[in-house]
Amino acid sequence: MAEVVPLPTASETFDDVRGEDRSMRFTYHREHDAVVVSLWLGRVCRATFRLPAAEVPRLIAMLSEVSAPAESSPPAELPTDPPALAC
């Protein structure tokens, strides 16, 4: 069984546009120098990914590119259940 640790103070949670109590949480874990991205369904964590802190600037750059056009145009409708290969 995985070790359970307290939630770090540096964290942010985002709700999924599909609703259904889905969310994504980002937490910074200084002891591992990593940002953990976790996918939640209600109170159950379904998956995690550890992003090395050194990769955060690259993630920010990519998110900055997609956020600029979104500010000037309305959001597009997303399918409620996208194909499995949409990743």
Q: Determine the 3-state secondary structure of 42 from DSSP.
A: coil
Averaged pLDDT of the chain: 83
More confident residue, 69 or 61: 61
Q: Which amino acid is at 87?
A: C
Of 41, 37, 62, 40, the residue nearest 51 (C-alpha): 37
pLDDT at residue 67, rounded to an integer: 75
On the question of pLDDT at 50 being above 90, the answer is yes
Residue 86 has pLDDT above 70, yes or no: no
Residue ranges per domain, the chain?
Answer: 11-66
Check if the beta carbon of residue 23 is closer than 8 Å to that of residue 13.
yes
Residue 55: φ, ψ to 5°: -90, -10
- The stretch 56-68 carries a mean pLDDT of 89
pLDDT number for residue 84: 47
Predicted local distance difference test score (pLDDT) of residue 66: 85
